[in-house]
Amino acid sequence: MVFESRLRKDADGEIGRGRTDSICLEIKRLESQVDFEIMRGPIRKAGSKQGLRALPKISRRKKLIEVYKRKKEEERIIPLHAYQMQQNWIKWSPLLGRGMEKSIEWGKIMTKLSARLVKFMMNGRQNTLPSPDNLKRWNVKAGKEFKCGLCSQTFVTAAHILAGCPYVINKENKAPGTDRYTWRHNSVLSVIRKHLKKKIQQVNSSVKKAPRKKEIIFVKEGQKLKQRPEAQKPLGMLDKAQDLEYDFDLPAERKRSYQMHQKVCATTFIPDGYLVSHVEKKCVVIELTCPMEERMDYWHLLKKNKYQEELTSDVYSIYYLIVEVGARGVLPITLRKEMRKMGLSKKEANSVVEECKLMATRCSFVIWCQRFNPEFTATEMKI
Ligand SMILES: [Zn+2]
């Protein structure tokens, strides 16, 4: 009753001096959206069984709140597109679709990482690091020329420092020792290696079982089924082989020089790593790139084409595992998908992704901190 009478007054324009809208009018608008959504019914995703599953019923009040939250989230995101500098993350951040409060990542960022690393991560993703170009933009010490600490170019971007400085690519790269970009790449690769090695050891030592027939389990009257028989895991690409060999291009751990397995493909081409089964005649070629997030698609296509051209075999079937881990710790879904294809469980694949993210961010933070130091020493990073 109160609502109805307030609504009538608000609709007549009695919403108070200085106000342009009222709560009652807002609720009325949301209600019409709710009415429409109830009439339309829920949107179901594609899939064979989707139409058969009953959806939870929610009250009108909850539905109204849900519609309101969605509207507010849209209002928050839309103006971001108008920004020139700080909206890059919209293109590659996985947070956008899920909303910040649902993201597991946020919880971990806030509780597990140090304050300095979080600060770097946030500023890096929003393009607000104190890089020479930003210092000029912010008019810090007007008239001063801010330079890259390594190559002396003026007003360079954070992307230049984190992944594109010619000093590192051309000079440090040729010097003895590992240059900083390769060091970050190798650190992330060693995370992938650690997990794949574990999986390979499991596969090689496992006893092959004959596929179990479906059996009927009888349960006595009045009793309950104690334990469901464990579901058979789907086989990954490697699960059939038991003679897996592997090697990775990680100089820290090797005694002999690294090359592609010449039995598979005679080439001078050096991928980041490979797994091979001579019995199954299968080979997985691994290639990892750690570019800036904006360039991930570009690198993926480039590497894929290059590898498909260079690494071929008449005898072995080759699978190209080409993944990217962003320099600021953001990565596309590819890595998780590829790890699942290799036969890693959901939990294992998730921990590969999480560890790669953390490793890339930590290494980039070190690169950022060392931006004025031309004498970089690569130290081993462990998670
Ligand atoms: Zn530079």
Report DSSP letters for 192-237, one per residue: HHHHHHHHHHHHHHPPPPPPPPP-PPP--TT-----PPPPPPPP-T
Both 131 and 194 in one domain: the answer is no
Residue 299 has pLDDT above 80, yes or no: yes
- Pick the more confident residue, 201 or 212: 201
pLDDT value at residue 96: 54
Residue 38 lies in a domain: no
Band (pLDDT 50/70/90 cuts) for residue 242 is confident
Which stretch of DSSP H or E encloses residue 275?
strand 273-277
pLDDT value at residue 168: 93
Residue 215 Cα to chain centre, angstroms: 41
Both 284 and 157 in one domain: the answer is no
Whole-number average pLDDT of the chain: 83
Interval between CA 380 and ligand 1 midpoint (Å): 24
Interval between CA 376 and ligand 1 midpoint (Å): 14
Distances (CA, A) of 54 to 42, 50, 51, 57: 11, 9, 8, 9
Interval between CA 292 and ligand 1 midpoint (Å): 15
pLDDT value at residue 92: 65
Both 184 and 293 in one domain: the answer is yes
Residue 332 lies in a domain: yes
Interval between CA 353 and ligand 1 midpoint (Å): 30
Domain membership of residue 120 as a residue range: 104-172
Residue 14 lies in a domain: no
Both 140 and 187 in one domain: the answer is no
Number of domains, the chain: 2
Both 167 and 186 in one domain: the answer is no
Residue 265 has pLDDT above 90, yes or no: no
Both 297 and 281 in one domain: the answer is yes
Both 198 and 329 in one domain: the answer is yes
Q: pLDDT tens digits for 97-121? A: 444 555 566 667 777 788 899 999 8
Residue 36 lies in a domain: no
Residue 254 has pLDDT above 70, yes or no: no
Residue 138 lies in a domain: yes
User: Which of 248-276 are b and which e, b meaning 16 or more Cβ less than 10 Å from the residue's Cβ?
Assistant: bbbeeeeeeeeebbeebbeeeeebbbbbb
Interval between CA 81 and ligand 1 midpoint (Å): 29
Interval between CA 323 and ligand 1 midpoint (Å): 26
What is the residue type of 210? A
